[in-house]
């Protein structure tokens, strides 16, 4: 048996791009979540057994609301609702961390909040396929599978 090393990921100097736009300054969290689908199969004269059906992915993004900046993430989500975009997330662009890239459906996030505080929002976007994890390349800030 081998001992597997550990290099924990730190969310520091993270980047998040949606299509061509960099929203790194706005984000406070990015979480890709798998949702496993399964069902029970009843077979004659046997106990029910679980049947794997697939995995659906979502990405949850927490960010600062901004209705002033013309290209803010808040406005982008409103203006591009129901459209497909590629998002690329790098938890720490300075430590060799791999990038996570996915095709998502853009949905609007909540607007508003509590008085006398910076307004934040959380939006959960469905991914069309499993996210791709790949090496981060500084060439254009693109994630490349590998």
Domain ranges of the chain: 15-131
Those residues whose C-beta lies under 8 Å from the C-beta of residue 20, and which sit 6 or more positions away, are none
- SS3 category, 82: coil
The model carries a pTM of 0.85
Four-way CATH pick for 15-131: 2.60.40, 2.40.30, 2.130.10, 2.40.128? 2.40.30
pLDDT at residue number 56: 97
Counting other chains too, the contacts that 34-37 makes at CB distance below 8 Å and 24 or more residues apart are none
The CB density around residue 124, as the number of other CB atoms within 10 Å, is: 13
**Rounded Cα distance, 69 and 47, in Å:** 59
62: helix, strand or coil: strand
Tens digit of pLDDT at every position of the chain (146 positions): 999 998 888 788 899 999 999 999 999 999 999 999 988 887 767 778 888 899 999 999 999 999 999 999 999 999 999 999 999 999 988 777 789 999 999 999 999 999 999 999 999 999 999 999 988 664 345 544 44
Confidence (pLDDT) at 138: 43
Tokens (6 digits) for 141:
């800030």
- pLDDT number for residue 136: 65
DSSP 4-36: PP-------S-EEEETTEE-TTTEEEEEEEEEE
pLDDT at site 137: 61
The beta-carbon contacts of 21-26 under 8 Å, at least 24 apart in sequence, are 21/71, 21/76, 22/141, 23/63, 23/73, 23/76, 26/63, 26/64, 26/66, 26/72, 26/73
pLDDT, position 71: 95
């Amino acid at each position: 048996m081998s001992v597997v090393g550990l290099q924990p990921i730190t969310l520091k100097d993270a980047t998040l791009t949606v299509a061509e736009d960099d929203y790194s300054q706005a984000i406070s969290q990015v979480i890709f979540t798998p949702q496993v689908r399964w069902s029970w199969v009843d077979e004659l004269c046997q106990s029910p057994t679980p049947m794997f059906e697939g995995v659906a992915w979502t990405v949850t993004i927490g960010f600062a609301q901004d209705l002033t900046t013309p290209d803010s993430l808040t406005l982008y989500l409103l203006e591009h609702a129901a459209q497909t975009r590629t998002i690329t997330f790098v938890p720490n662009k300075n430590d060799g961390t791999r990038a996570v890239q996915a095709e998502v459906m853009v949905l609007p996030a909540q607007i508003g909040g509590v008085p006398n505080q910076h307004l934040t929002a959380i939006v959960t976007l469905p991914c069309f396929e499993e996210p791709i994890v790949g090496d981060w390349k500084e060439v254009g800030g693109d994630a490349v599978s590998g």
